Chain A
Amino acid sequence: MITQFLQRYFRRSALLLVARRPWSSSSQSSLPPFHTRLLLYLTQRFYDVEMLLSWRSKLKRRGVQKKNAYYSYTERFYGSNLATAYFILNLKGGFRYAGQPDWFRADRKGRFSWDFMNHKDTPIEDVDMSYTVFNYTGLNNLEGQQSLRTLSLRGCPEVDDWFLARLHMFQDSLEELDISHCPRITTGGLAALRNLKGLKRLDMSSLPRISTPGLVIILLEEMLPQCKITATGYDHSLREEGGEEEQKNHLQGQR
């Protein structure tokens, strides 16, 4: 918009200048006057601004994509468990090996201890990726973890419906899933949880893009009868039907 606007003005002022030339004695110089150059410069600048904006988002995307790249090299040399562990720590997440009490985590600056290298053959059981840029592509690095039991994706900005649809790779093992506060998840993605038949706990609190949370929660409970669903942070009072009011009490009782 702005570019067009400026271009129009640029053209107009250029015309004015042509018209003015005969009267003014000072503009005989070969260089166009200062403000023409300024406008020209600005027009180009604004194209640049537009370009810069799209470049910035592209760069950001590329950065996320790079962080989520497949650690094939690590996997080849150290095996899939260590590759997964290394990936998780690099993304500033945390995990726990099966049969071990301690969690491995990266600190706030992304530093971590290399002790995790001592457990080449131990599968990973619990993974906490909350508030990381973990995305669909990054799931490649978790594909080998067939005994993954819990996965927390709380507040992950890159987790979307396609990500949820891909979780079927853990369908035999996953018991706990936390997808609360994920800004991109919609009802269409929740339908994909049907494949996680072993799920025992699901936290789906505060998903901003669920439009009819009451109904969705009921349908989810119906779809995953073994699963205890936590869903806070929704304004249930907006619902009209009385029948659902009961459901709400029922839900709160469960919580």
Chain B
Amino acid sequence: MSTWRRLRASLRAAEGLIRSRRQAPIPGHETWCRSLSTGGSLRNDFFKDLEAQLSAMRKKARDALPGSSWSPLELNPNLPPERADIVVVGGGVMGWSVAYWLKQKERIPGGLKVVVVEKDPMYSQASTVLSAGGIRQQFSLPENIHLSLASADFMRNINEHLDVLNEEPVDLQFNQSGYLFLASEKVAHIMEENYSTQRQAGAKVSLLSPAQLKDRFPWINTDDVALASYGLENEGWFDPWTLLNAFRRKAMSMGVIQCCGEVTDFKYTVNVMTNLAGDHVDFRRIKSVRVQMPNSLEYQPVECAIVVNAAGAFSGKVAGMLGIGSGPKDSLAGIALPVEPRKRFIYVVHCPDGPGLDTPFLIDYSGVYFRREGLGGNYIAGASPEEAEEPDVSNLEVDHQFFEEKIWPSMAHRVPAFEKLKVTSAWAGFYDYNTFDQNGIIGMHPLINNMYFATGFSGHGLQHSPAVGRAVAELILDGNFKTLDLSRLGFGRILAQEPMMERNIV
């Protein structure tokens, strides 16, 4: 009886709340009412209204309960929730991979509330979609080789990981072609060392002498090549956009919340402690993330327990919002996250007489690389500029001079058929460039005990994203690395000033 009284009381309240009495009839709904009510159509109508009002009222009541994200003001429906367990800053391939793995590893279904904040849902500047899409095993650090092997394994079984019921299976358009590195006399010994590291790690790579090289790829000019290394398996290129979307689709089907907005600030608490030397050290803990809505002044603070910084080229900026790098020069707080955007160009060229189906992803010791793009005699090529000639990063304009002066001569020298190529288009993208040692930074900052980094991959982040996402999820949920030990890629190496350089032949 008391239920009924409560109901009547709230009904009266609901009358005031809901003005529009009649809503568009839902076909299925009507049948239901009919089957349930025994009375005539009048009563039927009454039930219909009552039911609509009741459900609206219930919703309001549910929203107004403490712990929900409802507020009495009219709100932008795209606002992120007020509270989340984990906020991932950056919805590139890294961010979505981390989100997917967090959901994959959560112990209770729906136990984790993960929000991915992306400022540009069109991904017009994200490195992921502007990359060359290559994956290789030919690195010199065992960590990187293992990351590639694990990621290749993930891509091989991608539909076991990322398929969504009743949706198309994922087709990465993976092209199984090896990377071919060419070394000069001077750097051939490095190539041999790398080769043995790679073999030890289980990568399938072969070394080729110039004669063997000529035999396999007659179109290559081998004059100044002393040694080549060629990947046999788990190398090639794929469509980055498909990978990004597959991660996103799966993560969202598992309950990850996508939110469009820019992270502009953090609220944090500071805990001052004194170290052995008597200096004060500030430990910070993020309380909430401020998400600025696109094209408006509106913003929303999202309270959260953990933040993952996967903002790619701009992750240095995000870390800066927490005061990382703005402390006194020779203290821990004075060391910034060494990740900054560096502009890299990719040129699409057409050359009908160029190499065919067996074209590898060729990386010349001059630094120039190219690969086939499709089957119609198109190729994409690029190179990294000298440190002193880094292009301006305020925009994504392409410097065509760079191709004429730095890339084409090397390309035409290596493959004489490229003398007659034509540039058909070009684009630029930002490397998430780690100025310290050009390798990924994975893990926590020692002074901020709830921000995890997954950034700084400087040109190999796309291929490592599946394995890095898993590693970060392990760090967050298990407390340490479980499958691959990446502790050497943590922030600690930057504090200790011990770079983990790749030993490159370029």
A-to-B contact residues, CB < 8 Å: 1, 9, 11-13, 15-22, 50, 53-54, 61, 136, 161-162, 164-166, 168, 186-192, 194-195, 197, 212, 215-216, 219-220, 222-223
Contact = CB atoms under 8 A, between A and B. Distances in A.
A168 B204 contact: yes
A17 B176 CA distance: 61
Interface in B27-81: 28-29, 32-33, 36-37, 47, 50-51, 54-55, 58
27 contacts: A9-B28, A12-B55, A13-B32, A13-B36, A17-B36, A18-B3, A19-B50, A19-B51, A20-B36, A54-B165, A162-B176, A165-B176, A166-B233, A186-B173, A188-B175, A189-B176, A191-B175, A191-B357, A191-B358, A194-B216, A194-B358, A197-B216, A212-B375, A216-B375, A222-B356, A222-B357, A223-B357
Contact of B47 (A19, A53, A190): A19
B375 A15 contact: no
Nearest 10 pairs between A and B by C-beta? Answer: A192-B176, A194-B358, A188-B175, A219-B357, A165-B176, A168-B232, A162-B156, A223-B358, A223-B357, A222-B356
Contacts of B176: 161-162, 164-165, 188-189, 191-192
B239 to A, nearest CB: 10
A16 B4 contact: no
B240 interface: no
B134 interface: no
Contact of A194 (B29, B156, B357, B375): B357
A220 B356 CA distance: 9
B17 interface: no
Contact of B32 (A1, A9, A50, A187): A9
B236 interface: yes
A50 B164 CA distance: 11
B408 interface: no
A219 B50 contact: no
B7 interface: yes
Contact of B357 (A50, A166, A190): A190
A7 B58 CA distance: 16
Tell me which of A17, A19, A220 has the highest count of chain B C-beta atoms within 10 A of its own C-beta. A19
B47 A21 contact: no
A99 to B, nearest CB: 30
A140 B401 CA distance: 50
Tell me which of A11, A13, A191, A223 has the highest count of chain B C-beta atoms within 10 A of its own C-beta. A191
A188 B37 contact: no
Interface string B407-440: 0000000000000000000000000000000000
Contacts of A9: 28, 32
B160 interface: yes
Contact of B4 (A21, A186, A219): A21
B481 interface: no
Contacts of A191: 175-177, 236, 357-358
Interface in B140-182: 156, 160, 165-166, 171, 173-177
B160 A61 contact: yes
A216 B375 CA distance: 8
Given A165-B176, A166-B233, A195-B232, A18 B204 contact: no
Nearest to A5: B28
Contacts of B51: 12, 15-16, 19
A182 B216 CA distance: 28
Given A194-B357, A216-B357, 4 more contacts: A18-B7, A22-B4, A191-B177, A219-B375
Nearest to A209: B171
B378 interface: no
A132 to B, nearest CB: 19
Interface residues of B, number: 36
B165 A50 contact: yes
Given A53-B165, A191-B357, A197-B216, A15 B156 contact: no
B292 interface: no
A12 B32 contact: yes
A189 B171 CA distance: 13
Nearest to A61: B160
Interface of B: 3-4, 7, 28-29, 32-33, 36-37, 47, 50-51, 54-55, 58, 156, 160, 165-166, 171, 173-177, 204, 216, 232-234, 236, 356-358, 375-376
Nearest to B32: A13
What does DSSP make chain A's interface, helix, strand, loop or mixed?
A: helix
Contacts of A136: 156
A192 B177 contact: yes
B358 A15 contact: no
A9 to B, nearest CB: 7
Contacts of B32: 9, 12-13, 16
A244 B192 CA distance: 44
Given A136-B156, A187-B375, A188-B236, A220 B357 contact: yes
A67 B292 CA distance: 53
Contacts of B55: 11-12, 15
Contacts of B356: 219, 222-223
Nearest to B358: A194
A190 B372 CA distance: 14
Given A16-B36, A192-B177, A223-B358, A165 B233 contact: yes
A216 B160 CA distance: 29
Nearest to B54: A15
A50 B376 CA distance: 43
A25 B36 CA distance: 15
Nearest to B359: A191
Nearest to B237: A188
Contacts of B54: 15, 18-19
Nearest to B37: A20
A166 B160 CA distance: 20
Nearest to A197: B216
A160 to B, nearest CB: 8
A84 to B, nearest CB: 20
A14 B399 CA distance: 65
A111 to B, nearest CB: 32
Contacts of B166: 1
B341 to A, nearest CB: 31
A220 B357 CA distance: 7
B290 to A, nearest CB: 33
Tell me which of A16, A220, A223 has the highest count of chain B C-beta atoms within 10 A of its own C-beta. A16
A187 B174 CA distance: 9
Nearest to A57: B163
A188 B178 CA distance: 12
B369 to A, nearest CB: 17
A222 B174 CA distance: 21
